[in-house]
Structures are given as C-alpha cells and as structure tokens.
Amino acid sequence: MPHRTGLTQRLVAEKALQLVDTHGLDALSLRRLGADLGASPMALYTYFDDRERLLEAVTQLVYAEVSAPVDDAVGPEATVRGILESVRGAFLRHPHVLPLAARYPPRTLDALAFVEAGYRALSRAGVEAAAIARAYRMLAAYSIGSAEIEVNKYFGEHIAAFPSGSLDAPTLERHLPQVAEIGPLLAAQDDAEEFRYGLDLVLDAVLRRAASR
C-alpha cells in the first residue's frame, strides 16, 4: 500500500551524504538509501532522475559548507586563502565525496557562494575578469588535486612493490635512485603545511602577474 513519505530532494540528499560519510561512496545504493528513509528504492526516482543526479546533489551540499566571507577586510590574498582552506576543510570532513568534486562543479546558489566571494575579493583587488577566470581555474585544479593526494594518501606507500615483490629495495636503488631518495621525503610531508606552501606559491604568482599589467 503506497503512502506519503514526506521526503524532499534536500532530505534525500542529506541522508545520502550521511550514508556516504559513514560507509563510503559504494555503499550509497538506491536500495539502501531507500531503506534508510523508510521508503522503497523506487520512491527516490520521484526526487532524482537517476543515481548521477543524486551524487551531484550530495556534492552541492558539501560545497555549500564552505564559508564565504561577506567582506574582505583582511585583503584579497588572505580572503582567497581563507576560502580555499575552508574548501579543504569541507572535503576533509567528507572525504568520500571528494572524487565527485572533480565531476560536478558548484551549481546551486549555496554552493556558488564561496566562488562569488572569491571573485569579488579578486575583483576589488583590481584583477581583471579574464585574469580572475585564469586564477580560478588554476586554484580549482590545485585544490582538487591537492585534496585528492591528501585524502588518498597518495604518497603514503609510493614505493610499494607492484606486482607484489617485483620492486624490491635493491632493484629500486639500482634503476631509480632518485625515486628511492625522494620517496621517503614525500611520505613524511605534512599535508596541511604542503597545502599552504603550494597555495601561497600559486596565489603570489597569480596576484603578481595580475598586478604587473
């Protein structure tokens, strides 16, 4: 017997985010989400055309958590840096959503708030529209790639054998001496520190080029 479930797009997406946070992206099935919401899997198609759209909505919820300062009293560089630290924070709180960030850009009003704030800060600093677009693309690439490296512990086991046993220490040392030397340094890096180092570097360069024209 069909009944009203009282669901909305937002409620479904929020429950989905919970599910992803606690059990990972693969655990987000329409069947399981339906069960969590006390509805049939098919009820979800009332709110989302397919699983893809649901994933996109979940991503928007994470973007919406990024803090978007209303003014930039601290100056454009510090404002943009603060926004990007907040982006990193949001995806560290929701690490399983990160793979979706590269697929779905911010689209909703709430999700775009931090983008607007960043644009405004650069605009007030005298950066022209075309240069802002370039800066945003660069910073988006750096943020996404950087967060993925951090969340996936990309350098944590960089020199592991693969297939098992085929790359032992002596072989590595003989054929790839530089990799053997740098590998441990990568594994020992501090994620937060490296993120800031790279962010400063990119931000400095972007603002200097924008100013010198």
Partner DNA sequence: ACCTGAACACCGTTCAAGT
Which residues in this chain contact DNA in the complex, by CB under 7 A? 1-7, 28-32, 34, 39-43, 45-47, 50-52
Nearer to DNA, 6 or 165 (CB): 6
Tokens of 181: 């030397």
Kindly tell me the number of DSSP H helices and DSSP E strands found in the chain.
10, 0
Name the minimum Å distance from CB 1 to a copy of itself.
29
Q: One-letter amino acid identity for 155?
A: F
Alpha helices in 109-190 (DSSP H): 109-124, 129-151, 169-175, 177-187
Residue 39: contacted member of a copy of itself, DNA, none (CB under 5 to 8 Å, by partner type) = DNA
Sign of the torsion formed by the C-alpha atoms of 191, 198, 89 and 157: negative
Shortest distance in whole angstroms from residue 208 CB to a copy of itself: 9
Least Å from the CB of residue 156 to a copy of itself? 9
Cβ at position 43, least distance to DNA in Å = 3
Choice between 42 and 192, CB closer to DNA? 42
Q: Closest Cα to residue 9, out of 35, 32, 31, 37? A: 37
Paired tokens of 56:
């996109």
User: Is residue 197 part of the contact set for a copy of itself (CB under 8 A)?
Assistant: yes
